[in-house]
Amino acid sequence: MILEELTMPAFIEGLTKTRTIIVPFGAVEEHGQHLPLGTDTIHAYELSKETSKHRPLFVAPPVWYGLCRSTSQHAGTITISGNTLKRLTVEIATSLYNQGLRNFVLLSGHAGGTHMAALTDAGEAILSNLEESRVAVLSILDLIAEIPDGIVETENDSHAGEVETSLMLHLRPAHIDGTSPEEYPSFPTPILARDKKKFWPGGVWGDPSKASLEKGKTLLQKEVEVLLRLVNRIESFED
């Protein structure tokens, strides 16, 4: 059930079938030279909608903006603070809770560490503030990690590489413009870099050349299977 498409009566009827909602999060962020800036959000939203075809679930409109630290200096990236992201997430969940939802799957297509930390903090606040709530916080990388070996060839692929290019070949082929070279960042951890583009000039983390439409279809299907298992777990979870 896609929230923005429902009428009031349809929403009320939906609550008799489920109290679970997936809230997709993403970012407006560079994805190499070839993928659109909205890749993370498109991925999370389309995955959520596809999952809802297999069982009763609400899917919230996506949150397009996220905290982008490592890519903040690349062209096209728009970032918000962790405090803003946390507050927005808590307020969205609180409003949904007041409308009758109880199980919240906060699914992020953007997997940056600081971004995910803000969502996790928000999830903890939701648990503390909303007595009957259950919350799961995860990124696309968490789903990919549960997909059997042999589908993804590139080790540690995570941004604008094999996985995301394959998925966008399936989901938004008209939005892809060529390709980008294989690349991996070289940040001087634990030193924080002021000039982030110096250590990650192309904004790719992986190998786009290994992407294919068929991989994209398979990856989305496998992600749906993992996400459905998570929904089953959260709906039966007892603290």
Instruction: Reply yes or no on whether the pLDDT at 239 is more than 80.
Output: no
Instruction: Reply yes or no on whether the pLDDT at 78 is more than 90.
Output: yes
12 pLDDT band (50/70/90 cuts)? Answer: very high
Instruction: Reply yes or no on whether the pLDDT at 238 is more than 90.
Output: no
pLDDT of residue 169: 98
Instruction: Reply yes or no on whether the pLDDT at 173 is more than 90.
Output: yes
Q: What is the pLDDT of residues 212-237, one digit of tens each?
A: 999 999 999 999 999 999 999 999 88
96 pLDDT band (50/70/90 cuts)? Answer: very high
Instruction: Reply yes or no on whether the pLDDT at 19 is more than 90.
Output: yes
Q: What is the pLDDT of residues 26-52, one digit of tens each?
A: 999 999 999 999 999 999 999 999 999
DSSP per-residue codes, the chain: -BGGG--HHHHHHHHTT--EEEEEE--B--BTBTB-TTHHHHHHHHHHHHHHTSS--EEPPPB--B--STTTTSTT-BB--HHHHHHHHHHHHHHHHHTT--EEEEEES---HHHHHHHHHHHHHHHHH-TT-EEEEEEHHHHHTTSPTTS--STT--BSSHHHHHHHHHH-GGG--S----B-----TTSPPSSHHHH-SS--BB-GGG--HHHHHHHHHHHHHHHHHHHHHHHH---
pLDDT of residue 210: 96
pTM: 0.95
pLDDT of residue 116: 98
Instruction: Reply yes or no on whether the pLDDT at 207 is more than 80.
Output: yes
pLDDT of residue 237: 86
Domains of the chain, CATH where assigned: 3-236 (3.40.50.10310)
pLDDT > 70: percent of the chain: 100
Instruction: Reply yes or no on whether the pLDDT at 21 is more than 90.
Output: yes
pLDDT of residue 148: 81
pLDDT of residue 94: 98
pLDDT of residue 179: 96
174 pLDDT band (50/70/90 cuts)? Answer: very high
Q: What is the pLDDT of residues 129-156, one digit of tens each?
A: 999 999 999 999 999 999 887 899 998 8
pLDDT > 90: percent of the chain: 96
